[in-house]
């Protein structure tokens, strides 16, 4: 039997092999009587999919391919989705713009704006959703809070800066 130094032996498994089978779960939230969350899927090139589990136990993707819900604020990220007025509002990782997916439609995109989506939370009345986005204006983000009402692509109402 040959003894090799620690770390010098070859393994039949690579780090990529191990990571390829690991689905990550993040950002869970109750939406009515359903549980919604984000799944990071290595088999889909790391795409982050908003998924829901209905009251009957059925599990379905909410966000279809090729959309990828993830934020990159400060390279850390924040909650990339929020349910607003029966729709999914999400941050598309490729350009950090918001998208909106209605109950039965394809994602819609707002006109290009010089801001990136940062984080979403529901800490205000149910009829409104709170999001924070940053306008890129130099070495740092100028964070502002906005309210998404029934028409999330109208200019947001500034509540703090």
Strand ranges, E, within the chain: 24-31, 34-41, 47-53, 59-61, 81-84, 87-91, 98-101, 115-121, 129-136, 141-148, 157-160
Using an 8 Å Cβ cutoff, are 56 and 42 in contact?
no
pTM: 0.66
Is 15 inside a domain boundary?
no
Report if residue 37 sits inside a domain.
yes
- The model's pLDDT over 4-63, given as tens digits with 9 standing for 90+, comes to 888 788 888 888 787 777 899 999 999 999 999 999 998 899 999 999 999 999 999 999
Residue 3 lies in a domain: no
The answer on pLDDT for 79 being more than 70 is yes
| Res. 157: pLDDT tops 50 | no
Q: What total number of domains does the chain contain?
A: 1
Give the residue numbers spanning the domain of 79.
20-160
Give a yes or no: residue 102 inside a domain. yes
Q: Is residue 120 part of a domain?
A: yes
Q: Is residue 9 part of a domain?
A: no
Give the whole-number percent of the chain exceeding pLDDT 70.
Answer: 63
H-type alpha helices, 9-151: 15-20
- Domain CATH for 84: 2.120.10.30
pLDDT for the residue 106: 66
């Amino acid at each position: 039997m040959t003894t090799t130094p620690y770390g010098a032996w070859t393994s039949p498994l690579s780090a990529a092999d191990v990571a390829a089978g690991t689905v990550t779960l993040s950002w869970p939230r109750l939406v009515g009587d359903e549980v919604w969350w984000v799944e990071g899927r290595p088999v889909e090139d790391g795409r982050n999919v908003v998924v829901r589990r209905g009251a009957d136990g059925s599990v379905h993707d909410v966000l279809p391919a090729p959309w990828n819900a993830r934020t990159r604020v400060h390279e850390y990220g924040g909650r990339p989705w929020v349910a607003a007025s029966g729709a999914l509002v999400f941050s598309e990782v490729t350009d950090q713009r918001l998208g909106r997916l209605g109950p039965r439609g394809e994602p819609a995109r707002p006109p290009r704006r010089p801001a990136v989506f940062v984080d979403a939370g529901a800490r205000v009345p149910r009829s409104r959703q709170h999001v924070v986005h940053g306008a890129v204006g130099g070495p740092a983000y100028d964070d502002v809070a906005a309210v998404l009402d029934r028409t999330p692509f109208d200019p947001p109402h500034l509540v703090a800066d």
